Chains A and B, each alone.
Chain A
């Protein structure tokens, strides 16, 4: 099946620093990738949708200057959390949509971000 990797799996950083999270589709080309955030005991919250070669589409309330998304190739998208603060601590999950008949999203394993 389709595999999506995410790196790093865990990151702890100081307040004010920037953190980059990578999402890769390993065995398929993903024209569309999604970035989600999930706080404890809550559902997935879509942050943005990125299409290869174009600017990401951000959901309402998500600051595009704070959460920089780059989808430079069909297999790689990155999310950079700039000037991270403790309230940005969360579980960040990417997913990639392949070309199956039913538009299934394949999820990466997630990145646990802790901002001190």
Chain B
């Protein structure tokens, strides 16, 4: 079956760095997405990886290892507004998104 695993909740300190891990099993693979979702709002796109390696975009970076079925989202210089849920989603062979349950990130001052 298809499955996306990520931690349920993480806590980090303002100004610090946090890494949110995601492992995936999909029928075929056409890439991996990370979305940010604030409470009561729709998800917003953060990153997309389809090749192995690190993609950096400002304070956020995303890494993919296809051989390991593994990705992580790295957030640097954490700000209070980064408190949100982070959703990992794999794109399968039918170009359907398979969603993880999301990681709730709590930022403390």
Closest residue of B by beta carbon distance from A94: B42
- Bin chain B's interface residue count: 20 to 34
- Prevailing SS type, chain B contact patch: loop
Return the contact of B95 from the options A44, A46, A103, A109 (Cβ within 8 A). A103
Residues of B within 8 A of A106 (CB): 45
Closest to B4 in A: A43
B12-36 near A? 1/0 per residue, CB < 8 Å: 0000000000000000001101010
Q: A8: shortest Cβ distance to chain B, in Å? A: 14
Q: Are B42 and A103 in touch, CB under 8 angstroms?
A: no
Q: Count chain A residues whose beta carbon lies closer than 8 angstroms to a beta carbon of B.
A: 20
Q: A43-B100, A102-B50, A103-B91 are in contact. Are A110 and B45 (CB under 8 A)?
A: no
A105 within 8 A of B: yes
Alpha-carbon gap, A34 to B43, bound state (A): 13
Residue among B35, B43, B45, B91 with the highest chain A CB neighbour number at 10 A: B43
Q: How far is the CA of A102 from the CA of B90 in the complex (A)?
A: 12
Q: Which of B31, B40, B96 contacts A102 (CB 8 A)?
A: B31
**In contact, A103 and B101 (Cβ under 8 angstroms):** no
Sample of 8 A–B contacts (CB below 8 Å): A43-B99, A43-B100, A93-B43, A102-B50, A104-B48, A106-B45, A109-B42, A110-B40
Beyond A43-B100, A93-B42, A110-B40, 11 extra complex contacts between A and B, CB < 8 Å: A34-B97, A43-B87, A44-B43, A44-B99, A46-B96, A97-B95, A102-B48, A103-B30, A103-B91, A104-B48, A105-B97
